[in-house]
Amino acid sequence: MNALTDIVRALSAGASADSLPTSLFGLPDQAPHERVLLAADPQTGLKAILAVHSTARGPAFGGCRFWSYDNELAALNDALRLSQGMSLKNALAQLPFGGGKAVIIKPAGSFDRPALFAAFGRAVQSLDGAYITAEDVGTTTADMLGMQAHTRFVSGIPREGAFGGDPSPKTAYGVFVSIDEGVKRVLGRQSLDGVRVALQGLGAVGWHLAEFLHKAGAQLVVADVNAEKVQRAQAELGATAVGVNEILAVQADVLAPCALGAVLNGSSIPAIQAKLIAGAANNQLATVADGDALQARGITYLPDYLVNAGGIISVAREYRNEGEESQVMAEVGQIRGRVAELLERVRIGGLTPAREADTWARSLLVKPAA
C-alpha cells in the first residue's frame, strides 16, 4: 500500500482530512513542499521518500533517515516534518542551503544494504542537485561513502587529510553550548557544575553530548533502549539510570531529548519537572500548541532546529570544501549566541520560544545576500 492509497482509504473509512497527518504536498497550515519524490527499486527493496521543502536559500540539504515505519503514510509524514525543519534549521544557521530530507523505509527481513543505498544514491542523483543528502538516524558514513559512486550530491564522508566525516560530535557540541547558555539565562546558574540533566537517548549524538556534559560537571540521568550503553554511561560518566518510560518525568534541571521526535506532547508535558528543555532529537514537539503548554508550565523549550544545527553545519562545510576542524567547531559554537538572541526576542515579544523561532527562521527563508 502506498501513501496515496493510505490517504484515500482513510478518507473512505470516514476520516476527516483534518485528522490525517499530512496532505500529499506538505504539512497542514504550512507552505507546500516544492517537490516530493517517491523512489522504489524492487530489486533491492528500496522504498524512499525524498522531500524538498524549500530551495529559497539554495539546494535543499538534509540527512537520510533509515527506519522501520508502521506504514508508508507515517514515513511520508516524517519526511515532510523533517524536511520543513531543515529549512528552518539551515536558515537560522545562516547556511546557503534550503531544507530537504529523505527517509528510507527499512525492508523487512534480509537485504543487501550496499545495493539498497546504491539505489538510493541513484534516486538522489535523479534530482540533479536539488537535494543533497548526508547521515541521519539509522545511516552511517559507510552508507554515504558507498553512495559516492552513484551521486555527487552526498556529504558526511571521511576524507584523508581533510575535514569531513561523522557529524554527530558537532551536533552534540551545538546542543551542549545551548544547554550551557540556557542554564545561565533561564536557571541563573553560572556553570553546569552540579546541574542535573536528564538525557533521553545515548545514540551517536546523545553519547557525545553526555561526554560534554560530564566533563563540564553536570550530573547525568540517562535512559536508552540499549542496556549496554546505559551501563557504559554509569561506569564511565557516573550516570544514574532510569527506565525509558521514566526519563521525561524525572527530577532534573534540564531535559535533553536525544531519541526520536514528538516526545513533548499532551501526555508527557504535565509530568515534566525540568525547567529547561534542549536536545538533539528532531521535531520534539508533537504540535506547536505543545510549545505553548510548556511555556504555561514555566518550562523553557529551546527549539531543536536551533540547537541541533551543528551536524548540518559540519556536512555543509565539508560539501563546500570549506574550513577545518577548529573553524567548524567555532561556527557550531555560534549557536550559543543565537540561543541568547532567541531568549531576548521572547522576552521582548512575548511569544513562546517555539513560535518566536519559527517566525525568525521563516523571515530568513530568502536567498542569502552575495
Residues of the chain with CATH 3.40.50.10860: 3-147
The CATH class of the 3-147 domain is: alpha beta
pLDDT digits (tens, 9 = 90+) for 205-238: 999 999 999 999 999 999 999 999 999 999 999 9
pLDDT digits (tens, 9 = 90+) for 56-69: 999 999 999 999 99
Does 268 have pLDDT greater than 50?
A: yes
Give me the amino acid identity at 333: G
Q: What is the mean pLDDT of the chain?
A: 92
Which range is least confidently modeled, 4-13, 172-181, 226-235, 256-265?
4-13
Rounded average pLDDT over 252-268? 96
What pLDDT is stored for residue 32 in this prediction? 84
Q: Residue 16 — pLDDT band, cuts 50, 70, 90? A: very low
pTM: 0.90
Rounded average pLDDT over 362-369? 86
pLDDT digits (tens, 9 = 90+) for 68-90: 999 999 999 999 999 999 999 99
Q: How is residue 106 written as a grid cell?
A: 527499512
Residue 150 near residue 115, CB atoms below 8 Å: no
Residues of the chain with CATH 3.40.50.720: 168-309+336-363
Write down the CATH number for the domain with range 168-309+336-363.
3.40.50.720
Residue 171 near residue 207, CB atoms below 8 Å: no
pLDDT digits (tens, 9 = 90+) for 294-340: 999 999 999 999 999 999 999 999 999 988 899 999 999 999 999 99
Q: What residues act catalytically? A: 101
What percentage of the chain exceeds 90 in pLDDT?
Answer: 86
Which range is least confidently modeled, 130-139, 148-157, 161-170?
161-170
Residue 155 near residue 162, CB atoms below 8 Å: no
Q: Residue 28 — pLDDT band, cuts 50, 70, 90? A: low
